[in-house]
Structure 1
């Protein structure tokens, strides 16, 4: 079974400002600061934010996926503002999904706003259809909304 979920989040922040966060390790730091009690803790295991970087996400108790997952950055495209990751251990991979990929894309709407497009793509055995129905784009949408609000508040405070 192949699955794909996608969510566009409009934010009132320029695309370049959003990409400064999404295209770097700052995304994990802000997730910890803004949503650590909701999503969990993000820590860099290896790398500097480029392709090959390994990041561990330890989920908070009660999350749909128990324990942790390790994601590997497989694409970081500064020109097109695209980052792709694949789970290499734990999380949905431990449940039988292979591959399980996340794609984050920052699209410029105009000079003052942008769209954060969050996508999940996965493959899983048909016998695990009940587990596949639990895959949600909601955490990525929550991150997009929180980051957008944080950056807008930061930008407004500087005026």
Structure 2
């Protein structure tokens, strides 16, 4: 069984500023700083933020499931402002998902606003189809809102 979910979060910051955070390792640093109790702790286990980088997200205590996930950066498209990561260990992979890909796209909406489009594509054996209901974009939306607010606040205090 294959599935896809996506959500769009509008933020009051130019797409170029949002992309600077999303394209590399800054996203993980800000998640650590802004959302440790919600999303957890991000560590780079391999790489410098480019394609092939592997990061580990350790979920907050009390989160059901494996307690962590590792993902690899598979695609970073500077021109289209698209980043794709694939879960390689823990998280939904530990539950039996065959693939779990997160796509983050930053879309220019106007000079001072943009849309963060967060998508998840997954594949899971039909025998585990009931687990598909656990897939949600909510953590990605929470992250987008927090990053947008942080960047807006930075811009306002500059």
Cα distance in structure 1, aligned partners of 2:60 and 2:130: 22
Q: Equivalent residue for 1:70?
A: 70
Offset of 1:62 from its aligned partner? 2.4
Is contact 2:14–2:108 with CA below 8 Å preserved after alignment? yes
Structure 1 gaps of 5+ residues are none
Q: How does 1:55-134 map to 2 (within 5 A)?
A: 55-134=55-134
CA distance in 1, matches of 2:21, 2:2: 30
How many Å apart are 1:126 and its aligned residue?
Answer: 1.4
Distance in 2 between residues matched to 1:18 and 1:8, nearest whole Å? 14
What is the RMSD computed on CA atoms of the aligned residues? 0.8
1:61: how far off?
2.0
TM-score (norm 1): 0.97
Match of 2:20 in 1: 20
Q: Provide runs of 4+ in structure 1 moved above 3 Å.
A: none
Contact map agreement 1:59 1:65 (CA 8 A) in 2: no
Q: Counterpart of 1:102 in 2: which secondary structure?
A: strand
Unaligned residue ranges in structure 2 (runs of 5+): none
**CA shift for structure 1 position 64:** 4.1
